[in-house]
Amino acid sequence: MSSVEAFDAVDLIRTKRDHGELTTDQIGWLVDAYTRGYVADEQMSAMTMAIFLNGMTRREIRDLTMAMIASGERMDFSGLGKPTTDKHSTGGVGDKITLPLMPLVASFGVAVPQLSGRGLGHTGGTLDKLESIPGWRAELSNDEMFAQLRDVGGVICAAGAGLAPADKKLYALRDITGTVEAIPLIASSIMSKKIAEGTGALVLDVKFGSGAFLTDIERSRELARTMVELGEDAGVATSALLTNMNVPLGLTIGNANEVRESVEVLAGGGPADVRELTIALAREMLELAGVTDADVEQALDDGRAMDTWRASIRAQGGDPDAPMPVAKEQHVVTADRDGVLVRQEALPFGIAAWRLGAGRARKEDPVQHAAGIDLHAKPGDEVRAGQPLFTLHADEPARFARALESVEGAWEIADAGAEVQDGGPLIADRIGR
Query: In whole angstroms, what is the distance from residue 414 CA to residue 308 CA?
Result: 43
Q: What angle do CA 345, 207, 368 make, to 5 degrees?
A: 65
Quickly count helices (H) and strands (E) in the chain. Answer: 16, 13
SS3 content of the chain, % helix, strand, coil (to 5): 45, 15, 40
Provide the annotated active-site residues. 88, 167, 174, 189, 193
Query: In whole angstroms, what is the distance from residue 349 CA to residue 249 CA?
Result: 11
Taking alpha carbons only, the member of 230, 202, 193 closest to residue 72 is: 193
Taking alpha carbons only, the member of 139, 154, 156, 133 closest to residue 255 is: 133
E-strand ranges in 198-282 read: 201-208, 237-244, 252-254
Taking alpha carbons only, the member of 321, 48, 35 closest to residue 182 is: 48
Taking alpha carbons only, the member of 118, 139, 121 closest to residue 129 is: 118
DSSP H or E run through 330: strand 329-334
CB 238, CB 194: distance < 8 Å? no
Query: In whole angstroms, what is the distance from residue 332 CA to residue 187 CA?
Result: 40
Query: In whole angstroms, what is the distance from residue 163 CA to residue 32 CA?
Result: 14
Please count the residues of the chain: 433
Torsion of CA 148, 137, 392, 205, to 10 degrees: -40
How would you classify residue 317: left for phi > 0, otherwise alpha for psi between -120 and 50, otherwise beta?
Answer: left
Query: In whole angstroms, what is the distance from residue 102 CA to residue 86 CA?
Result: 8
